[in-house]
Structure 1
Amino acid sequence: MQTTGNTLLVTGGGSGIGLALAKAFLALGNEVIIAGRREALLQREVAANPGLRYQVLDVSDAHDTQRVAKRLIADYPGLNGVIHAAGIMRGESLTAGGASELEATVATNLLGPIRLDGWLLPHFLKQPHAAIVTVSSGLAFLPLALTPSYCATKAAVHSYSQSLRYQLKDTAVRVHELAPPYVQTELMGERQANDPQAMPLREFIEEVMGIFQHAPEADEILVERVKPLRYAERGEDYGAFFNTFNDQMTAARQGE
């Protein structure tokens, strides 16, 4: 994607990777609208980052997604990009039964981007150039058994991204899949934000923006730290790697 001269919507833009990407693209001279459910949080970030704009949006709500997409197209006729950074990641015990969080995870992580793209794409196709950035995860390729629904939705996002890219291959709309590793954000709470085993958010964003700038045609945006997960299935013994990885992560979260 082009990294300057865009009007970008960033879902999940009130915190974490979404907010950090929004600020990085704003610094390059793009017009950036951050979106999320918590208006007070969005207002605080807009006040702290002059030039940012905001829109309240619940991507898990089909009607809200349609309403906001139509409003954004009307208010920002130059809108030509979306970064799908909204996400839910929760631990789940499959043996405990029930699925109280399943619907919210699927609606936010998977249905939200698909629905939003459906409403934005007719507009994007009229632009000289446009971009859709889906956000999957290294866990789309090597699942963390502690968070099965999250990993399943991110694997689905990867599949969806490939299909969307293929269907748009003869258009001016580029589709990029950003697959983060374990990053210091509050996706799973304060512990993750301060976990020394996680990649510092600033380092992650710097590497991601470097890829966008130096490899604008890249289908997948992969920092070095995520590559062992992304290419785990190419190894000689995926099963052993899967078990070792999950044993280590389970041990690290004992007592939570």
Structure 2
Amino acid sequence: MKLTGNKILITGGGSGIGLGLTERFIQENNTVIICGRRASALEEVATRFPAVITRVCDLAVEAERVGLYNWVAEHHPDVNVLVNNAGIQHWMKIDDPGFYERAKTEISTNIEAPVHLTALFVQLASLDTIINVTSGLSFVPFTKVPVYSATKAFFHSFTRSAQYLLQSRNIEVIEMIPPALNTDLGGKGLHDAAPPVSDFINAIFQQLKDGKTALTFGFSEAMAKAGPEEVTAAFNRLNGHAG
């Protein structure tokens, strides 16, 4: 994709990887729209980056996804890049009280939302790029986040199919595959020892400049290249103390 002169919608752009992408895309002279559930988080970003356009939207709700698309189609019909970044992560066990209800929120946000948004936004004549944020856990699950890992495996598979299916529309589909990073995903403090988001952003932007469509870093780079034995070994390392 070209890195400047775009109008980009980033879901979940108020924190974590989404915020890192927002900052970098602005630096690269793009117009950025961010959406998220928390108005306060969006307002903080807009204070730091006055050029950012914000929209409050709960992507777990189908009607709000439709409303987001209709708003973009009416007010920003020149959006040409969709970044499906929003996601939630629950640390839980299958026999925990409320497991299924929490699982449903992950499935609606991590699977239903980006699949639906993809179907909606390909209707925009201007759309030429979709970036899907999956995970290194697409390749090997971390059993403390069993449903999250499964949703990312689904999203990885869907992205591979979309890359093929949208070729005839001249829509480039890019998979961004982060490892664990120092964000609040899953809860504050859980990833404090992980690499900073800034290191990941620097690495993946270099890969974008190089024309790559599978963007990896650290653990996710290793897993994307791993064979069956390496995946099994990684699973055992990740989950040796899980449960």
2:201 is equivalent to residue 205 of structure 1: yes
2:225 is equivalent to residue 231 of structure 1: yes
Conserved? CA contact 1:34–1:53, under 8 Å: yes
Q: 1:243 aligns with which of 229, 232, 236?
A: 236
Q: Number of aligned residue pairs: give it.
A: 242
Alignment partners' CA distance in 2, 1:230 and 1:245? 16
Alignment partners' CA distance in 1, 2:53 and 2:234? 43
Conserved? CA contact 1:110–1:156, under 8 Å: yes
2:101 is equivalent to residue 108 of structure 1: no
Identity over aligned pairs, percent: 29
Provide the aligned C-alpha RMSD in A. Answer: 1.6
Conserved? CA contact 2:134–2:152, under 8 Å: yes
User: What SS class does the counterpart of residue 82 from structure 1 fall into?
Assistant: strand
Alignment partners' CA distance in 1, 2:54 and 2:114? 18
Shift of 1:76: 0.8
User: What SS class does the counterpart of residue 173 from structure 2 fall into?
Assistant: strand
Alignment partners' CA distance in 2, 1:167 and 1:118? 12
Structure 2 portions without partners, runs of 5+: none
Residue 166 of structure 1 is matched in structure 2 by: 164
2:157 is equivalent to residue 152 of structure 1: no
Conserved? CA contact 1:141–1:231, under 8 Å: no
Shift of 1:230: 2.3
Alignment partners' CA distance in 1, 2:67 and 2:113? 13
Residue 7 of structure 1 is matched in structure 2 by: 7
Alignment partners' CA distance in 1, 2:231 and 2:163? 28
Shift of 1:50: 2.2
Displacement over 4 Å in runs of 4+: none
Residue 182 of structure 1 is matched in structure 2 by: 180
Alignment partners' CA distance in 1, 2:76 and 2:95? 47
Conserved? CA contact 1:142–1:230, under 8 Å: no
Q: Normalising to structure 2: TM-score of the pair?
A: 0.94
2:222 is equivalent to residue 221 of structure 1: no
Distance change in 2, residues 1:237/1:132 (3 Å): closer
Alignment partners' CA distance in 1, 2:231 and 2:135? 18
Alignment partners' CA distance in 2, 1:192 and 1:183? 10
Q: Normalising to structure 1: TM-score of the pair?
A: 0.89
Shift of 1:13: 0.5
User: What SS class does the counterpart of residue 111 from structure 1 fall into?
Assistant: helix
Task: Show the 5 A alignment for 1:80-119.
Answer: 80-96=80-96, 98-119=99-120
Alignment partners' CA distance in 2, 1:84 and 1:33? 12
Alignment partners' CA distance in 1, 2:112 and 2:69? 15
Give, as a single letter, the amino acid of the residue that structure 2 aligns with 1:31. T
Cα deviations by residue, 1:7-59 (Å, 9 ceiling, x for unpaired): 00000001000011011001111000010011121011101112111111111
Shift of 1:237: 5.2
